[in-house]
Chain A
């Protein structure tokens, strides 16, 4: 029987939505045999949030001072120690999970599967390669613990209303002191929806032209209650901070509505938006590759169209 342990992602106060997405994937692997591990220094409230996720059997709470920040070298030995009771250990394919899961797998002496996008059986999965230009079906040996990351854009969040038991756990894992968290610099002020859980995203590219011009993108996003994203070109040009980047090496998003403005549509960007419900493209270059994937395309100058669109959307 498959039993899954999911490592919870959080910021110390709130559980990240990626955790509820991992539960949806885990249920396809192991039904109701799904536990969540919460590593924190003060994690009772976080554990309570995890316990409410539908489909979770038990929440394991591992509290120690070293767990205040998500340092992979600190968490991996603890997660590896807990993993021995499970057939599968899952984390989200966010920067948190990508950092932690391979280290955990190597400590267990096993490989790791990245970016599960579909579960065909407890040991057979689909995952993207070549920036999503190909999908491989992979079969894993049943004899080894399966450590994997879940491509969060492929799964919805499990519901709330669960009432899992919370159990405190201690591990005898030895924790290295060679990796030290210094600080987290966040550009976003938290007033805008998070890119990876937003239902609407307005994204700007190099065509927006400057950081000041990004006000056009923010104004439209404000009107729609949308998150703001950007292409790599816009981030490289310094228009916006790196945490807004959508694409192969940035964030993979799955909103209902994705509005790409002044984005040409490099293949690495398209990889990040393939799961969007409806893609709208506004670009003055009618040959831009973004129009190949757009559900609704508008060939026009963004500097007149975007303010017009913002106005047209009412109050």
Chain B
């Protein structure tokens, strides 16, 4: 293969407990640690491993977002990607618009494989890979925990509700990663220094001429309903009595 395109989204770090703005207008993002969406990081790791096996020449990372997303692309370059592309926009894009934008990048880059996370941990949509594949009229394999490339096709093991589903897809294809696909590498300092010299190209979103009409608008963002305060019991006997009194077990 010539090229893998990996898509990275900048999101609130996995370990941050998100706080909501009191007026219901959204999540507090000011001063919050931001990172590569963990599923996307796994996608990048997989692309790097494929390159290290000699099965692809080049790994390109792409992101869509504000200029701050350069940080995540630099991290991607430090992990080992060869070059990066940022489609710069301040707008919050819906997954369909993201997929259309990625399709424009696909047309420029002609990748044999597009790898990305199955969902971003902010909006939890789980849509972009499937939509990109539909627009590109190519196969997709999503929730993938094992991937092998075999000439003009790829075999993917997918984590589905019933177990593991194996599919074969012709290349080029879009693959979305699940958690158990791999464990991403840690970035070492020399690589961070080296990454500063790698190419990071910026394209203005407006230049691509993509229809960015929104279909959905968020009316409010609220905290989830809280569960009532629970009780502690001090023995198995007390637990059984409690379960019986609530009618949850027989007796």
Contact = CB atoms under 8 A, between A and B. Distances in A.
Interface stretch (A51-59, A60-68, A133-141, A164-172): A133-141
Interface string A118-143: 00000010001111111111111100
A134 B221 contact: yes
B217 A138 contact: yes
Contacts of A293: 227, 230
B169 interface: yes
Interface string A162-198: 0000000000000010111111111110000000100
Given A100-B130, A129-B221, A188-B163, 14 more contacts: A98-B130, A98-B143, A99-B130, A105-B127, A106-B99, A114-B127, A138-B216, A178-B173, A179-B139, A180-B169, A224-B249, A235-B180, A243-B161, A293-B230
A159 to B, nearest CB: 22
Size class of the B contact interface (CB-based, 8 Å): 35 or more
Given A242-B180, A296-B243, A130 B218 contact: no
B168 A103 contact: no
Contacts, number: 250
A231 to B, nearest CB: 12
Interface stretch (A22-30, A42-50, A211-219, A304-312): A304-312
A136 B125 CA distance: 12
Interface of A is mostly: mixed
Interface in B149-200: 155, 158-170, 173, 178-180
A129 B135 contact: no
B91 interface: no
Interface of A: 11, 71-73, 76, 94-96, 98-107, 110-115, 124, 128-141, 144, 176, 178-188, 196, 200, 224, 232, 235-236, 241-243, 248-249, 251, 256-257, 267, 274, 277-280, 282, 291, 293-300, 305, 308-309, 312-314
A130 B121 contact: yes
Nearest to B135: A106
30 contacts: A73-B139, A95-B158, A95-B161, A96-B161, A102-B95, A102-B129, A105-B127, A106-B132, A129-B123, A129-B124, A134-B224, A137-B221, A141-B215, A141-B216, A179-B168, A180-B167, A182-B166, A182-B168, A196-B161, A224-B249, A249-B178, A282-B239, A291-B232, A293-B230, A294-B230, A296-B239, A305-B236, A313-B249, A313-B250, A313-B251
A295 B227 contact: yes
Contact of A295 (B131, B178, B231): B231
B143 A128 contact: no
Interface of B is mostly: mixed
Given A102-B126, A102-B131, A312 B161 contact: no
B167 A137 contact: no
A234 to B, nearest CB: 12
